[in-house]
Amino acid sequence: MIHQFAGFEDPHEEIRDGSVFGPVARADFLASYPAGAHLLRHGLRDHPLLNLDALAQLASQLENRHVTHHRGDAPEGLCEKPGESGQAIGSVIRSIGKDGGWASLEQVQRLPGYRELLDEVLKELRPLIQQRTGKVLRAQATIIVLGPGASMPNRFAPEHQLLLQVEGQQVMTIFPRSEVHFGPDGYAADDDNEHEAELAWHDSFSRDGMPFSLAPGQAIYLPAREPHMQSNGETISISLAITWCSEWSAAEADARSFNGLLRKWGRKPQPPQRWPGRNYGKALAWRILKRIPWLH
């Protein structure tokens, strides 16, 4: 069953004062954050910085390392950096509706206008985030453009993530954190806690996935390290992904790094605690030990 808003007819229904999120959306966020995936309404669907022409210009201004493109006719998992296909990235974005594939524009908050856009989204949620998981750390913005029928691979990110659908429709499928995904302690490799990572696909995942349908004006919150994949419909899809670490998720990541060190020493540590557990003991140990190079 695909989860969606029942009777979702007017995405601006409760957003009449120019804010990004209405009171119901903020209440729903507080009720579910940080451990529960949930749907929200937002008011950015017509934002001038998020249309296709604006994104084509944006892509041409980003450093190559912040742009990833997967051609529609390329083998799954084969991604390119700008220039590798012989086509300028701005042209790739403009023609994605015809040529297919997908593009990911990362760290867009480094450019004028998009920093303010990131701040605009987070300013309404920051007090709610801090109430639960402490300070917002390393907030970033990524824009994802999907061509017709495109899909992005099964993956996870170590940060909290909020995906706001701006144009077109897509399905976000979330998978449980299991041994098959993350190994015996329910977590991915302990030595890489800062980067998004793709996960190998197993056919058995399809029966465990929970799909959420997203239309313009809808958003979905994904807990940190939640396995997920995106698949698009018949038209171009544009979405804005806001990610951030929190004091809680940073401690959980450091606890995982400490566990990795213990494994190198032949120990079998308990996995980090999931929310609402705290991992401050292991996190503190790792923050001290990582300053001693010969220990790890």
Domain positions in the chain are 23-246, 250-295
- What is the C-alpha to C-alpha distance for residues 127 and 219, in angstroms, rounded to an integer? 19
Q: Are 241 and 146 in contact (CB under 8 A)?
A: no
- What is the C-alpha to C-alpha distance for residues 213 and 219, in angstroms, rounded to an integer? 10
- What is the C-alpha to C-alpha distance for residues 39 and 167, in angstroms, rounded to an integer? 16
CATH superfamily for domain 23-246 = Cupin (2.60.120.650)
From first to last of its 296 residues, what are the pLDDT tens digits of the chain? Answer: 555 544 344 444 456 677 999 999 999 999 999 999 999 999 999 999 999 999 999 999 999 899 988 865 544 444 544 445 556 888 889 999 988 888 999 999 999 999 999 999 999 999 999 999 999 999 999 999 999 998 887 667 789 999 999 999 999 998 877 555 555 444 444 444 554 555 665 666 667 788 999 999 999 999 988 888 888 989 999 999 999 999 999 999 999 999 999 998 999 999 999 999 999 999 999 999 999 887 76
pTM across the whole model: 0.86
The β-bridge partners of 240 are: 143, 164
